[in-house]
Amino acid sequence: MFEKETMLRQFRDVRRLLVICLGNICRSPFAAAYLREKLAGQVEVREGGYLPKVNRPSPDTAHQAAAAFGVDLSKHRSRAFTDEDLDWAEMILCFDEENDNHLRKRLGGKADKIWPLGAVLDEGGPWIADPYKTSLESFHRTYKTIRNCCDELGMSHEA
């Protein structure tokens, strides 16, 4: 269903990217911050969640794990994505089946721009589980997977 080569081919031309997870406090802020740094000047990155709770900080375990990858989440506050964000985005990245289903219902006929970030993985994809309320080690594993996926996307954008 999610073909890595198709995703990478589509990503090469993307200039506006939206990264979505449930609460916008763990996975999407890390991925968005990492991609903003990696693709600076090439791709504009927005992020959000569909949980209607906004202005929440990332958990302490997220801060600690993100710091190990050079990402600072200390100023991050959650936001809910809007219909404008969905229209603006040329590609939308999500993380798990729940995210994917929610987005596909909301986008209807424009769902072809939704991709699970883990689709670029050769093993273990396409879904990346939410580490919320888990251990620091779990956050490290999740962020390492996200970083590896983002690096793969970055290489395709440079091609």
pLDDT (tens digit, 9 = 90+) per residue, 19-34? Answer: 999 999 999 999 999 9
Question: What Cα–Cα distance (Å) separates residue 55 from each residue in 39, 76, 116, 147?
Answer: 26, 8, 25, 24
Neighbours of 4 (CB within 10 A): 17
Most confidently predicted of 8-12, 56-60, 103-107: 56-60
The residue-averaged pLDDT of 44-66 equals: 97
- Domain CATH code at residue 28: 3.40.50.2300
* pLDDT of amino acid 159: 56
Alpha-carbon distance 24 to 31, whole Å?
A: 10
pLDDT in tens, 61-111: 999 999 999 999 999 999 999 999 999 999 999 999 999 999 999 998 888
* pLDDT of amino acid 1: 67
- For the entire predicted model, the pTM comes to 0.96
What is the domain extent for residue 92? 4-158
Alpha-carbon distance 144 to 112, whole Å?
A: 27
* pLDDT of amino acid 155: 86
- The number of domains in the chain is 1
Taking 90 as the threshold, does the pLDDT of residue 122 lie above it? no
